[in-house]
A and B are shown apart, each in its own frame.
Chain A
Amino acid sequence: MERRRSFPDLIAGGIFVLIGGAFVAGSLGYELGTPLRMGPGAFPLLAGAIVAALGLAIVVKGLVAGEVVAFGPVPWRAVAVIVLAVLFFGFTVRGLGFVPTSAVTALLTTLASSRVRPLVAVAVTAGLTLASTLIFVVGLQLRIPLWGPWLGF
């Protein structure tokens, strides 16, 4: 078989090794216990070690006979905007209230697409805010204030 190095394999394996390793390191801080009474650290230690070992195997395989996966382009703008939008939602929904938070989140999200026109973005924002208010607050009686305390009412 032809030897081929696979970049995605290395990343995936690396992530597994990193997360598995972090959990192993963390679980050593908890009591391991005995087989009869396993402590809180034993199971995560085992699972973390398995994740790290599998990650290592994927890395090795990626160096020798990797899987050909096209990594493709990364939509950096979409990633940044969506992360920002969701974080904004979580951070402000209590303070600003449902309506303003939803509107800003929706508006930010529409910007993730490079092809959206400003007018369409505003229309989508208005429509989604109205729809989600009707569905979640009016229809489903979600207990989130429409306008939050930060706005001074």
Chain B
Amino acid sequence: MDLLDNLALGFSTALLLQNVLYCFVGVLLGTAVGVLPGIGPTATVAMLLPITFSFEPVTALIMLAGIYYGAQYGGSTTAILINLPGESSAAVTALDGHEMARQGRAGAALATAAVGSFIAGTVATVALAVAAPPLARVALRFGPAEYFSLVLLGLIVSIALARGAPLKALAMIALGVLFGTVGQDIYTGTPRFVFDQRELYGGIDFVSVAVGMFGVAEILRNLENEQTRTTVVSRVKNLWPTREDRRRIVAPILRGTGIGAALGVLPGGGHVLASFTSYAVEKRISKRGDEFGHGAIEGVAGPESANNAAAQTSFIPLLTLGLPAHPVMALMVGAFIVHGITPGPNVLTDEPALFWGLIASMWIGNVLLLLLNLPLIGLWVRMLRIPYQILFPMIILFAAIGTYSLGFNAFDVYAIVFFGILGYILIKCGCEPAPLLLGFVLGPLVEENLRRALIISRGDPTTFITRPISAILLTLTIAALVLTVLPAIRKRRETVFTEEE
């Protein structure tokens, strides 16, 4: 009964007072930024990361994880109430959820989303606890050649799942990898692309990249056309779904959980894909298919469960392989490293309390979210009335303070200007910022493992295809690359994403 022992260890860590407290702070902040349009979990985690440096590692990670899945929760609230998905994965929820709100059933929709998310989160946490250790054991046998191929696969798959033109996503990844090479070379210590600035020797801080690309650029986007946000928020009453509703949501919640748990493992926006897939599935198998888009409760229950389950299982590649599946995960890799822990299979054996504590905290976080969301829904609704004119100076100021406090280095602050402007221009040209951040975090890993593998093989590049695991991973990488670039498939992918939008 290893699993039970491990979970007991996890809960004894996660239930420590300070961990519960910061878990609460995390999910509270997460819900808030999920509700507020114009700031997402990536920018929030990036801004708060410096603060967590003084915490115990497990406490820091519990709080950051809480922000991530709390935001998934909060995003659905705005999607339902004002048809404004705070998070991309909540876009599907808006379809039927907002329709329900317009029919005066906002309460039932919110309750369904909350209950569905809770069940999905619970199941997915168990899935995480069961699946992670065996995967980590496999990953322990990986050498540099396998790691190189694995990271490459992760990067390529992340474009296959992202929205937008694949060519641009590919270029964004490569650009991220390129920016990752700034700073001292790991093997020779040669400073690269530092323009004789001592401050750049340590490389560009990923917090600056994330705050610039996801915070500053996003604010500039929002200031393009300023309109008074519609404050017509439907009154929420009658939270509890009717008996008929309860009967109708059971199966979609379970199916959504399964779909989400499976797809969440995929790198790069698996939770977005999960909610879209779940919606498509529910629509196809429902006997009331024509109700979808007109307030079908299944259309809220399925995708909401799927997206929350995926939010939990996307921690699997992070905890077992050290591979981030989402920009927030990429920041968490940074958080691990700051605390002197190399994310990857070793975390499980070296830091069992941290590993299991983090997993257990996710379940506790889900309970807290349920308690926070249903009774306090009125508070979240009121938060929507905060005018943007107050919000964006706060984000800019906190971003500047947060990045400065990283290392009391003004260069980190200037870097957010650079990446903010660059990100703004690129986003305007149809490039997504998420692949760049993934490339930036994973780029140094690609280089390190490539060079190490070549040293081990005495300069023989065939090592990547003669070692079986590496060969399989590279084959998958090429397959993923071909699939994304092939126009016919790309078209179908676009229809999957634009359908019903």
User: Residues of B contacting A41 with CB < 8 Å?
Assistant: 192
A window 3-30: CB within 8 A of B: 8-9, 11-12, 15-16, 19-20, 23, 26-27, 30
A window 41-96: CB within 8 A of B: 41, 43-44, 47-48, 50-51, 54-55, 57-58, 61, 67, 69, 71-75, 78-79, 82-83, 85-87, 89-91, 93-94
Whether A39 and B188, one on each chain, are in contact in the complex, defined by CB atoms closer than 8 angstroms, is yes
B14-22, B137-145, B422-430: which one contacts chain A? B422-430
Q: How many A-B residue pairs have CB under 8 A?
A: 200
Q: Is B441 an interface residue (CB 8 A)?
A: no
Whether A54 and B413, one on each chain, are in contact in the complex, defined by CB atoms closer than 8 angstroms, is no
Whether B223 and A75, one on each chain, are in contact in the complex, defined by CB atoms closer than 8 angstroms, is yes
Q: Is B170 an interface residue (CB 8 A)?
A: yes
B window 191-224: CB within 8 A of A: 192-193, 216, 219-220, 223-224
- Say what secondary structure dominates the interface of chain B: helix
Q: Is A151 an interface residue (CB 8 A)?
A: no
- A47-B443, A86-B400 known; A71 vs B428 contact (CB < 8 Å): yes
Whether B178 and A102, one on each chain, are in contact in the complex, defined by CB atoms closer than 8 angstroms, is no
Whether A12 and B430, one on each chain, are in contact in the complex, defined by CB atoms closer than 8 angstroms, is yes
B window 147-198: CB within 8 A of A: 165, 167-168, 170-171, 174-175, 177-178, 181, 185, 187-188, 190, 192-193
Whether B220 and A140, one on each chain, are in contact in the complex, defined by CB atoms closer than 8 angstroms, is no
Whether B393 and A110, one on each chain, are in contact in the complex, defined by CB atoms closer than 8 angstroms, is yes
User: Residues of B contacting A82 with CB < 8 Å?
Assistant: 216, 219-220, 396, 420
Please pick, from A43, A127, A141, the residue contacting B181 in the complex, using a CB distance under 8 A: A43
- A39-B188, A106-B393 known; A87 vs B414 contact (CB < 8 Å): yes
Q: Is B380 an interface residue (CB 8 A)?
A: no
User: Residues of A contacting B226 with CB < 8 Å?
Assistant: 113-115
Whether B192 and A36, one on each chain, are in contact in the complex, defined by CB atoms closer than 8 angstroms, is no
Measured in the bound complex, the distance between the Cα atoms of B206 and A100 in whole Å is 27
- A58-B167, A74-B224, A102-B397 known; A67 vs B430 contact (CB < 8 Å): yes
B5-13, B27-35, B116-124, B447-455: which one contacts chain A? B447-455
- A15-B425, A90-B413 known; A26 vs B193 contact (CB < 8 Å): yes
Please pick, from A12, A30, A43, A113, the residue contacting B389 in the complex, using a CB distance under 8 A: A113
Q: Is B410 an interface residue (CB 8 A)?
A: yes
B51, B177, B397 — most chain A CB neighbours (10 Å)? B397
A145 to chain B, nearest CB (A): 11
Whether A86 and B393, one on each chain, are in contact in the complex, defined by CB atoms closer than 8 angstroms, is no
- A36-B454, A47-B443 known; A86 vs B416 contact (CB < 8 Å): yes
Please pick, from A54, A105, A125, the residue contacting B174 in the complex, using a CB distance under 8 A: A54
Given contacts A37-B459, A58-B167, A75-B220, 16 further A-B contacts (CB under 8 A): A15-B425, A16-B175, A35-B461, A37-B187, A43-B181, A51-B175, A69-B428, A78-B223, A86-B420, A90-B400, A113-B389, A116-B389, A124-B390, A140-B54, A142-B405, A144-B405
Give 8 CB contacts A-B under 8 Å. A67-B165, A69-B428, A83-B420, A87-B414, A106-B396, A128-B397, A140-B51, A143-B408
Task: List the interface of chain A (C-beta within 8 A of B).
Answer: 8-9, 11-12, 15-16, 19-20, 23, 26-27, 30-31, 34-41, 43-44, 47-48, 50-51, 54-55, 57-58, 61, 67, 69, 71-75, 78-79, 82-83, 85-87, 89-91, 93-94, 102, 105-106, 109-110, 112-116, 120, 124-125, 127-128, 131-132, 136, 140-144
Task: List the interface of chain B (C-beta within 8 A of A).
Answer: 51, 54, 165, 167-168, 170-171, 174-175, 177-178, 181, 185, 187-188, 190, 192-193, 216, 219-220, 223-226, 388-390, 392-394, 396-401, 404-405, 408, 410-411, 413-414, 416-417, 420-422, 424-426, 428-431, 443, 447, 450-451, 454-455, 458-461
